[in-house]
Chains A and B, each alone.
Chain A
Amino acid sequence: MRAFTQHQGLVAPMDRSNVDTDMIIPKQFLKSIKRTGFGPNLFDELRYLDEGKPDQDSSQRPLNPDFVLNQPRYEGASVLLARSNFGCGSSREHAPWALDDYGFRVIIAPSFADIFYNNCFKNGLLPIVLEEKVVDQLFQETEETEGYQLAIDLEAQTVTTPSGESFSFDVDSFRRHCLLNGLDDIGVTLEDAELIKSYEEQRRQTAPWLFNAGQ
């Protein structure tokens, strides 16, 4: 996995709460058996005026001029500023894949849905929870200042504004460790293979019904 240590980038504001995974990447694009190529269909129904189809050249489609990511000032944004309960809905990892493929590295919101939050870490994408009033402030500053950038430091656990104001954020230490070092967590788990085997053996004895194959 790609490591994440520090990042500075242009901020795009997604001013709506409960952004669900169907909105982030609509289901017709989940038919792909690959992990990449979802970027052009990120927020597809909001971003384009027509109905998107898989395997279509999206560069020819009519854009919705009202959608925030279509505004020239947010072109090249890599930090997404969002509202509460971002990523609610399904478990589809295609949602972080699409955000990543589009070019986002960080998402900042007052809260995230659990599964989405977890999926981000598996893909080198950093979800940051900041207090509602801080997020409000960042929204205001982003909208007021063209070219507004934020600097994120995972090691220090801080988000810093252009004026030098800094906000700290929490992240649990295992996830932080994996992300900082770009670790493959399957490899980390397999270091405990013996422990898993002995747990399994003991369960075979005490709860044999868990090991039934169908009849």
Chain B
Amino acid sequence: MAGKTLYDKLWDDHLVKQREDGSALIYIDRHLLHEVTSPQAFEGLRLAGRKPWRIDANLATPDHNVPTTDREKGIEGIVDPVSRIQVETLGKNCDEFGILEFKIKDKRQGIVHVIGPEQGATLPGMTIVCGDSHTSTHGAFGCLAHGIGTSEVEHVLATQCLVQQKMKNMLVKVNGQLGKGVTGKDVVLAIIGKIGTAGGTGHAIEFGGEAIQNLSMEGRMTICNMAIEAGARVGMVAVDGTTIDYVKDRPFSPRGETWDAAVKYWRTLHSDLDAEFDKVVELEGSEILPQVSWGTSPEMVADVTGNVPDPAKEDDPIKREGIERALKYMGLRPNQAITDIQLDRVFIGSCTNSRIEDLREAAVVVKGRKVADSLKQAMVVPGSGLVKAQAEAEGLDKIFLEAGLEWRDPGCSMCLAMNADKLGQGEHCASTSNRNFEGRQGFGGRTHLVSPTMAAAAAIHGHFVDVSELLN
């Protein structure tokens, strides 16, 4: 019999009941909540007269609607009354049921996928869910983590379980070393460019290979974060020393003997050598260049040294139409050089790239330089209050401010523009977020997905530049 994949192991360890019809009850160790997808779930609980099954499995924070300025004002600082009600509702629900919430003025508040790992609330081997598709981020810790809808949020609150079908196993292997200036973000964009936004549908993706193993936890989180953009609800990386070092001594991490027992178990969280995958994709790390998305789907990416595609050269009529529509929306010409795209704004933030390492990488590039005059705005939004404090302790805030970037308070911000931070119509933005859908960052806004290093360089130049050259 073939060995088990990491996904198989996590599945087996959380299986409460295998039903005859092929569905299964899976136990959920950690449930993260935010204000947008939870109110209807709490309302459902109340209407049915149910209570949360296990209060201490839940951790909540407002992130999508929070303003990134004037935070001392707390909830009063939320200008939009509809946004404010949503944040207040999360607070009321958590208070009513006794769920731990990092509220808007708490230092530990931040984007839900940043604070889980930061607190050690994300531990290897856990099943983690949240009403948010980027929950795949937590798979970087060898977790089985994925997004769920609001009905499932209610289901998990009420039962601590989910009804699941087992997915297929997929391995994406990135061999060798990455080039200079090439980050986890470029790797994952290159993967999505290769397999497409439906390439991982129905699969749990494990990311492996030397280039992945050499990445920091931040880099691995960036990659798992965007598994969903490749169609896979679940992205994972095997546990190793890097993982264990990261989770040590965090507020929710075990201590003493329990720590030792945990580490012993965590060391088993990798695919067996003889495990079989339903699908395997390989990339060479050395061939990956800094990536820039040019279109309105995360698979529409190009090397920074490349060009916008020419729809005339596409044979598939549906794809051709897709390219034409994207170019029209993005206001780009066929064959235009990526480095010719002029930018209006730069956004460094989001659950993909707002951790301390991301900010350090961006700071290296802008240090001692100035943001291009042609830009309307360049902003840095740290992923949590603790990331912000750490960055300030390292002096990164000063580097950004001196270069002319804005230094904001933590939240989702311009990643989806539910708060006041958004693009104007037709504006081009170099963004470290994860989705470049039409209107994602503001009505008529044009998003180009890039790494923090690339976004920082673009801020200085006003257009995209090849950072691998810049860093040499």
Residues of A within 8 A of B (CB): 16-18, 20, 22-23, 26-28, 30-35, 45, 51, 54-55, 83-85, 88-93, 96, 111, 113-115, 118-119, 122-123, 172-175, 177, 184-186, 188-190, 192-193, 195-196, 199-200, 203, 207-215
- Cβ contact within 8 Å between B133 and A199: no
Contact among B161, B228, B262, B443 for A45, CB-based, below 8 A: B443
B19: Cβ under 8 A from any A Cβ: yes
Q: In the assembled complex, how far is the CB of residue B469 from the closest CB belonging to chain A, in whole angstroms?
A: 33
Asked if A85 meets B418 with Cβ closer than 8 Å, knowing A122-B149, A196-B27, the reply is no
B377 is an interface residue with CB less than 8 A from chain A: no
Report whether B83 and A89 are in contact in the complex, using a CB–CB cutoff of 8 Å. Answer: no
The list of the 3 closest CB pairs from A to B, nearest first, reads: A122-B151, A209-B254, A33-B39
Are A173 and B21 closer than 8 Å at their CB atoms? Answer: yes
Q: Which of B179-231 contact A (CB under 8 A)?
A: 197-198, 201-202, 228, 231
Do B165 and A30 touch across chains, with their CB atoms under 8 A apart?
no
Q: How near does chain A come to B8, taking the closest CB pair, in angstroms?
A: 18
Contact B27 A93 (CB under 8 A): no
Instruction: Check if B131 is an interface residue, CB within 8 A of chain A.
Output: yes
B382 within 8 A of A: no
Query: Is the CB–CB distance between A33 and B86 below 8 Å?
Result: yes
What is the bound-complex CA distance between A20 and B231, given in angstroms?
11
Taking CB atoms, residues of chain B closer than 8 Å to A188 are 163
Q: Say yes or no: A83 contacts B149, CB within 8 Å.
A: no
Contact A190 B158 (CB under 8 A): yes
Residue of A27, A190, A207 near B159 (CB, 8 A) is A190
Contacts A33-B89, A91-B148; A51 near B233 (Cβ below 8 A): no
Cβ contacts under 8 Å, A30 to chain B: 36, 64, 418
Known: A32-B82, A35-B43, A190-B159. 7 other contacts (CB 8 A): A22-B416, A91-B147, A91-B149, A93-B131, A175-B23, A189-B159, A210-B29
Best-buried of A113, A209, A212 by chain B (most CB within 10 Å):
A209
Q: Is A174 within 8 A of B201, CB to CB?
A: no
Chain A residues lying within 8 Å of B56, measured Cβ to Cβ, are 211, 213
B198 to A111, Cβ gap below 8 A? yes
- Contact: B201 with A27, CB < 8 Å? no
* B233 engages A119 (CB within 8 Å): no
A142 vs chain B, min Cβ distance (A):
17
Closest to A190 in B: B159
| C-alpha spacing A192/B53, complex, angstroms | 13
Chain A hits for B23, CB < 8 A: 172-175
Can you list 9 residue pairs at the A/B interface with Cβ under 8 Å? A30-B64, A119-B149, A119-B151, A189-B158, A190-B158, A207-B262, A210-B126, A212-B252, A214-B120
Q: Is the CB of A91 within 8 A of B29?
A: no
Q: For the complex, is B16 an interface residue (Cβ under 8 Å from A)? A: yes
Tell me which residues across on chain A come within 8 A of B342, comparing CB atoms. Answer: none
Residues of A within 8 A of B19 (CB): 174
Report which of B17, B22, B233 forms a contact with A114, defined as CB distance below 8 A: B233
Please measure, in the bound complex, the distance between the C-alpha atom of A192 and the C-alpha atom of B159, giving whole angstroms.
9
Q: Give the size range of B's interface with the partner.
A: 35 or more
Q: Is B322 an interface residue (CB 8 A)?
A: yes
Residues on A with C-beta less than 8 A from B135 are 91
Chain B positions within 8 Å of A55 at CB level:
82
Given contacts A27-B416, A186-B48, A214-B121, contact A85 B197 (CB under 8 A): yes
Q: Which residue of A lies closest to B55 (CB)?
A: A213
Partner of A90, one of B25, B29, B54, B133: B133
Q: Which of A93, A114, A200 has the largest number of chain B CB atoms within 10 A? A: A114
Task: Give the CA-CA distance A139 to B65 in the complex, in Å.
Answer: 39
B128 to nearest A CB, angstroms?
11
Given contacts A45-B438, A192-B16, A209-B262, contact A186 B155 (CB under 8 A): yes
Residue on B nearest A188 in the bound complex, by CB = B163
A30-B418, A189-B159, A215-B252 are known contacts. Are A20 and B82 too (CB-CB below 8 A)? no
Partner of B16, one of A16, A118, A122, A199: A199
B25 contact from A22, A45, A189, A208, Cβ within 8 A: A189
Q: Are B25 and A196 in contact (CB under 8 A)?
A: yes
**Is A17 a contact of B318 with CB atoms below 8 Å?**
yes
A115 touches B198 (CB 8 A): no
Q: Say whether A214 contacts B231, CB under 8 Å.
A: no
| In the complex with contacts A118-B149, A190-B159, A196-B161, A172-B22 CB distance below 8 A | yes
Contact residues in B for A123 (Cβ distance below 8 Å): 151
- Complex alpha-carbon distance, A186 and B151, angstroms: 9
Chain B residue contacts of A20, Cβ below 8 A:
297, 435, 437
Cβ-defined contact, B265 with A186, below 8 A: no
Are A115 and B252 in contact, CB atoms less than 8 angstroms apart? no
Residues of A within 8 A of B148 (CB): 91, 115
